[in-house]
Structure 1
């Protein structure tokens, strides 16, 4: 396991993961972190997706959720190598032709750096406001993935499904990649099935370490039963990290200490069958975050394959 990426700060202010300093951060801070990730060899930078948050959830989730296409396109122009991940696009909120147009353009403009992460969503009011089907969102997402693959593969795609149908409608620009990878997010049985049978990757959502081996075994079982041979990139979200010994309270779940110790802990993910980890650093400022990213890239990453 050598690949590691990061969900960007600032673009989402959920109380589940945002640091206090992000509340007053600016686009310049977001840009600096993206450039640091690019310079330091991070595999990807990731941006979340919500269109609107209902008042009943605003205290926990916040209402700051940058649009992933606009955000990743902005950052694509300021970076060179780092890949651009939607983690995750709630694809059932939009017609698949509209989604294909947006993300194919992003892939075209970025020179083929898109990873399209998709998920079913969980906020019913958001679906209702946009005229999308919340109750059948899983079935809709299954079909959307098929429709997106068709649209990415052909200038004049053809799709005939239960929820969407189109043909003889051309879309350019074409994606730079012949088939932009689709990573499926979620840890429910339905999401694991979807990742196994329809995805190029799996993005678990909050699975603790002890659950991952069982989830990975289920992925492999489903793929074997179907005879699926397409490679699958298995991901994990690591515990919060702090490289070194902090002089402040980083929380009881945070992995902290010397680089070699952190690498030893993270190598356990690779032993489970994980291909890439999403890392998240505790920090009190943008500078501390980028310092942590540099300490990880220089001190921890070289030990991840031992």
Structure 2
């Protein structure tokens, strides 16, 4: 299993200096990929909590630098690491513009882009983008359709309720086909979409230890079985687990959430993801109030690959 690192986008980050430093440091430390997340705004009185039943939005996300701009900065100072989004919310973007942005980033990076997409959940963000939460699944499906059309040969002809492309060239094209991974997977419809349309899955661990590994492996096996049933090569699909880290002063109890606890417990969770069959794991330290600077965060980020001893 490989490791990826989420780039610093949060409150307190010096975007001119820290993004470049983090990208270079992560590549030198042996990380296989760099990732960004998307947060459009930070409502003072949000319509939904960050997580049920009433978890508040993390103050660190009061700033979330634009995902693709951050990856563009990383692209020009790295050579080998893949560059992924985990995740972009399809309904917050115009599909053709998003397709062109990803294609341009793929050209800049020499073909290293991974497009991680999700349906999203924040009514406040959808309202700001002029869309609706109720249509989020339809927007994601439409975006996937536009990607297929726009990244294919010219001239492009495409028609959907929001997008009409009539016999037009749409450039640049990606270096090669950009892998599209999907988040979610808690509903039957989401699982079916991953199996039928995605190049992989971006899940979270539901529980630590053997139970979490078994549950995740069972869900992943089911997705790949469904993909094979649709005539797809499931062996080419990737499972990249997202690990949102929160450190605690003392070991968290047995009912803890995965990736919450001491560094030793976080290392246990990394191995749990490996046991579940993950191809890669994203280490996200953006939520961590523990760190007073990006440099301090990177000291821990550099330590993790050396301690992991992954196969």
TM-score, length of structure 1 as denominator length: 0.81
Give, in angstroms, the shift of residue 86 of structure 1: 1.3
- 1:60 equivalenced with 2:68 (yes/no): no
Counterpart of 1:225 (choices 229, 251, 266) is 229
Structure 1 stretches (4+) deviating beyond 6 angstroms? none
Counterpart position of 2:181: 183
Q: Indicate if the aligned counterparts of 2:41 and 2:125 stay in contact, CA closer than 8 A.
A: yes
1:212-250, Cα deviation, whole Å (9 max, x unpaired): 1332133123213323215210121247388xxxxx816
- 1:304 equivalenced with 2:301 (yes/no): no
Distance 2:141 2:108 in 1: 27
Counterpart position of 1:249: 249
Q: Indicate if the aligned counterparts of 2:201 and 2:239 stay in contact, CA closer than 8 A.
A: yes
Give, in angstroms, the shift of residue 36 of structure 1: 0.8
Counterpart position of 1:193: 192
Distance 1:212 1:34 in 2: 29
Counterpart position of 1:25: 13
Distance 1:113 1:154 in 2: 20
Distance 2:128 2:304 in 1: 42
C-alpha spacing 1:66/1:238, structure 2 compared with 1 (3 Å):
closer
Distance 1:241 1:50 in 2: 19
Pairing 1:111-260 to 2, within 5 Å after superposition: 111-176=110-175, 178-189=176-187, 190-205=189-204, 207-209=206-208, 210=212, 211-229=215-233, 231-238=236-243, 240=245, 249=249, 252=252, 253-257=260-264
1:134-186, Cα deviation, whole Å (9 max, x unpaired): 2121122112112112211224323233443323221222222x201111112
**Structure 1 portions without partners, runs of 5+:** 13-22, 243-247
Distance 2:87 2:269 in 1: 26
SS of the equivalent of 1:237 reads strand
RMSD over equivalenced CA pairs, Å: 2.7
Q: Indicate if the aligned counterparts of 1:47 and 1:88 stay in contact, CA closer than 8 A.
A: yes
1:246-276, Cα deviation, whole Å (9 max, x unpaired): xx81662325349xx94x7634423322111
- 1:287 equivalenced with 2:291 (yes/no): no
Give, in angstroms, the shift of residue 78 of structure 1: 1.9
Distance 2:222 2:278 in 1: 14
1:180-218, Cα deviation, whole Å (9 max, x unpaired): 111111232233322221111111146334241332133
Counterpart position of 1:101: 100
SS of the equivalent of 2:133 reads coil
Per mean C-alpha deviation after superposition, the further-off stretch among 33-42 and 290-299 is 290-299
C-alpha spacing 1:79/1:179, structure 2 compared with 1 (3 Å):
same
Give, in angstroms, the shift of residue 42 of structure 1: 1.1
Per mean C-alpha deviation after superposition, the further-off stretch among 111-120 and 187-196 is 187-196
Counterpart of 2:277 (choices 258, 261, 273) is 273
**Structure 2 portions without partners, runs of 5+:** 51-55, 253-259
